[in-house]
Amino acid sequence: MPRPTPAQITYGTLTVIFSTLAMLLLSQTSSGVGVAVIAVAALGLGLLVAMTVPQPAAQRESEPAASPAARVAPAARTAEERVPVQRAAAPVLAESVREPAGP
């Protein structure tokens, strides 16, 4: 199981905090059971949000591919990768480079 990314932790934490505050203010509950139910609901919502944050591309590429379509090489990202390098042609010699056959 991959480790959570900082973005997943941040989004999950912020979701828990803000959803808890919003539900407490909207419900105006003062009982311990009501606060506990709201806290559990906020934790569940935070977990759901954290798990739906997309993973970075580098982490996705390191995981095994599930389908043949996923095994396709990623497209080139820079102009240097898209344009092939021109290679210098070998110089043409005027005289023959073959050696004479044996005696």
| pLDDT value, residue 93 | 58
Which range is least confidently modeled, 22-26, 29-33, 53-57, 74-78? Answer: 74-78
| pLDDT value, residue 80 | 58
Domain ranges of the chain: 1-54
d(CA 20, CA 38): 6
Contact 50, 6 (CB under 8 A): no
pTM score above 0.75 = no
| Mean of pLDDT over the chain | 76
Q: How confident is the model at residue 54 (pLDDT cuts 50, 70, 90)?
A: confident
Contact 12, 47 (CB under 8 A): yes
| pLDDT value, residue 20 | 93
CA 94 vs CA 82, 91, 97, 98: distances in Å: 36, 10, 9, 12
What letter does residue 68 receive in the DSSP assignment? G
